[in-house]
Amino acid sequence: MSKNMRSREPMPHQDPKDRITNFTEVALGYSEEQAVGEAQRCLNCKKKPCITGCPVEVAIPDFIKLVAERDFKGAITKIKETNALPAICGRVCPQEEQCEKYCILGKRGEPVAIGRLERFVADWEAANNGKDGACSASKAAQSAERIAKVAVVGAGPAGLTAAGELAGMGYDVTVFEALHESGGVLAYGIPPFRLPRTILKREIEYIKSLGASIETNSIVGKLYTLRELLNSGYSAIFIGTGAGLPQFMGIPGENLNGVYSANEYLTRINLMKAYMFPTHPTPIRVGRKVAVIGAGNVAMDAARCSLRMGAEEVTIVYRRSRTEMPARAEEIENAEEEGVKFSLLTAPLKFNGDENGYVKSMECIRMELGEPDASGRRRPVPVEGSEYTADVDTVVIAIGQSPNPVVRQSEPGLETTRWGGIVVDEETMATSIPGIYAGGDTVTGAATVITAMGAGKKAARAMDKYIKDKLRKS
Residue 133 has pLDDT above 50, yes or no: no
Residue 138 has pLDDT above 60, yes or no: no
User: For 146-244+402-473, which CATH class?
Assistant: alpha beta
Residue 143 has pLDDT above 90, yes or no: no
Residue 135, C-beta contacts closer than 8 angstroms, at least 6 positions apart:
209
pTM over 0.85? The answer is yes
Run of H or E including 185: helix 185-188
Strands 172-176 and 149-153: parallel
Convert the pLDDT of each residue in 193-251 to its tens digit. Answer: 999 999 999 999 999 999 999 999 999 999 999 999 999 999 999 999 999 999 999 99
pLDDT for position 137: 46
Convert the pLDDT of each residue in 317-376 to its tens digit. Answer: 999 999 999 999 999 999 999 999 999 999 999 999 999 999 999 999 999 999 988 878
Cα–Cα distance measured from residue 202 to residue 29, given in angstroms and rounded to the nearest whole number = 17
DSSP E strand boundaries for 241-309: 245-246, 259-261, 289-293
Convert the pLDDT of each residue in 443-453 to its tens digit. Answer: 999 899 999 99
pLDDT band per the 50, 70, 90 thresholds, residue 277: very high
Secondary structure of the chain: what % helix, strand, coil (to 5)? Answer: 40, 20, 40
Cα–Cα distance measured from residue 181 to residue 49, given in angstroms and rounded to the nearest whole number = 37
Cα–Cα distance measured from residue 62 to residue 84, given in angstroms and rounded to the nearest whole number = 17
Domain residue spans in the chain? 3-132, 146-244+402-473, 248-399
Convert the pLDDT of each residue in 402-427 to its tens digit. Answer: 999 999 999 999 999 999 999 999 99
Tell me the sheet residues that pair with 225. Answer: none
pLDDT for position 286: 96
Residue 412, C-beta contacts closer than 8 angstroms, at least 6 positions apart:
none
Residue 401, C-beta contacts closer than 8 angstroms, at least 6 positions apart:
243, 244, 245, 246, 247, 262, 263, 298, 441, 445, 446
- Domain 146-244+402-473 shares a fold with domain 248-399: yes
Question: Among 4-8, 158-162, 178-182, 359-363, whose mean pLDDT is lowest?
Answer: 4-8
Closest CA to 30 of 39, 41, 22, 43: 39
Tell me the sheet residues that pair with 174. Answer: 151, 213
> Has domain 248-399 been given CATH number 3.50.50.60?
yes
Run of H or E including 378: strand 378-382
Cα–Cα distance measured from residue 67 to residue 382, given in angstroms and rounded to the nearest whole number = 52
CATH code assigned to 3-132: 1.10.1060.10
Distances (CA, A) of 351 to 163, 266, 281, 367, 386: 44, 21, 29, 18, 17
pLDDT for position 4: 62
Closest CA to 421 of 441, 407, 437: 441
